[in-house]
Chain A
């Protein structure tokens, strides 16, 4: 297995709003491969906005974002950093319904130009670990919530990311599947990946080394 690349993210006094509504009001945060942070907060508190900014999907209005000491400009598209360093897991899985599980998992690898032999080697180790080998040829519509989330996790791991950003990854799952997914994330963290977990479930947040609460657009340590 390839070595996981080092990552160091620093948010300094990040502000973000939509129109006149301020969502993030001076958020500062430091994340690296050793981080396992859970960000809690009520619905509408800006957790997903923070995750999108962290994941380089969305820009910010003010503040400073350093990614491996490189300053991130708000309007630019950092798809290469996103592709090479960050894996995303969503509450609603965000799988493409027309594709099979295999096609969904390899999608980031395809855009990264990974060779088929390399994909095949890497994918087998991931799907074995997540126990979804038997699902590869199936369409995603036939899967249970837990299975879909495992497929989404496999997809997030295919490019060997340094950081996994998970937005309510267990929100649609039962207790058994919730624990299974969290065990997988914990395992990946032990392998050297940073984890940022967004959740409002205290039991899930407890898996993290550090729990942060987002309220009124600001972070506070629980």
Chain B
């Protein structure tokens, strides 16, 4: 039966090709829409996807120094708790005429007394060039990233860096984070965004802007309550994950509506294609029936033909959708110089699978049942 179904698919390839194009276009559109939507949400939240619920942030304005001290005192009393602060500094000086007009954006990570550092918006841990993840930095010392180290090499500075009027000793080089970037050429720097670590003591004399404190602690509820009591901005991986879940749920409704609309249009087209195909094949059905094929055998053959074509199309449509999203990813990586992850949620996969299975089974059954509504004598050619 399978052989006969495959043989008939080949014999009626023009009809099936037309049908396949309709299915491919519809399910590719559904696939691209679902994967794109999921990927957009995922990439918005990717920094927290695999992160512990123990991470949260507190934000301070210029006037919040007292509150910052209170929060630090509270956190330092908690067990298994780490924190550090992060702030952008633009007053970095590299004494070289080539870089006179260079704009170097330095994001400093202010480590209180120990070694834990986690880059909030990227979900990456700080790591030294040799792979060491534990490090500390003393007063008037700085640990810089690889890109900044390379820039310093170019201008002949090796051991010291002037930041906001302070001369700091470079005590280590860490690996770049993924947002580290520098556009350099022989005459200077077009743009530069680098990271460095300094100690709390080094940082205290600098002018404070908007600081963010990143906290790793199993006592999240306590920290949240205290932070909110102090009137500080607070967010956590847990909150963001909850927000992401809400966003995914909100997207399901629109996905379902669009999927239903598309499969309705597909259904109308498909019924037309099937009726056209059946009209052409009534003679074949009549001959087979006359030769002793049962109605069930005819149903099985047409069901098998339709399912083979439909399911192949759906798998191909999914592969094409992934390929199109692969193109979007390449665009992000090569043109936008950004990372982008292709992602599909279980919800979307379920909607895709249910709509595909429903269409495949429903339309194939319809096709196969209609195939037996043939009056044999009308199509058996006699005298």
Contacts and interface: CB of A to CB of B under 8 A. Distances in A.
Chain B, interface SS category: helix
Interface stretch (A67-75, A104-112, A126-134): A104-112
B284 interface: yes
Interface stretch (B178-186, B286-294, B306-314): B286-294
A177 interface: no
A2 B61 CA distance: 99
Interface in A13-65: 43, 47-48, 51-52, 55, 57-58
A137 interface: no
B169 interface: no
A51 B297 CA distance: 24
Identify the 4 closest CB pairs spanning chains A and B, nearest first: A83-B292, A98-B11, A92-B381, A48-B382
Interface residues of A, number: 34
Given A77-B295, A98-B11, A103-B7, A111 B288 contact: yes
A96 interface: yes
Interface string B1-34: 0001001100110000000000000000000000
Contact of A168 (B288, B291, B382): B382
Nearest to A159: B292
Contacts of B11: 98-99
Given A90-B381, A167-B383, 7 more contacts: A43-B383, A52-B377, A90-B380, A90-B382, A91-B382, A96-B288, A98-B284
Contacts of B289: 57, 79
A98 B287 CA distance: 13
A171 B383 contact: yes
A88 B377 CA distance: 13
Given A98-B11, A103-B7, A110-B4, A155 B291 contact: yes
Nearest to A49: B377
Nearest to A158: B291
Given A57-B376, A57-B377, A58-B377, A88 B290 contact: yes
Contacts of A220: none
A92 B382 CA distance: 6
B291 A107 contact: yes
Nearest to B376: A57
A79 B294 contact: yes
A144 B12 CA distance: 25
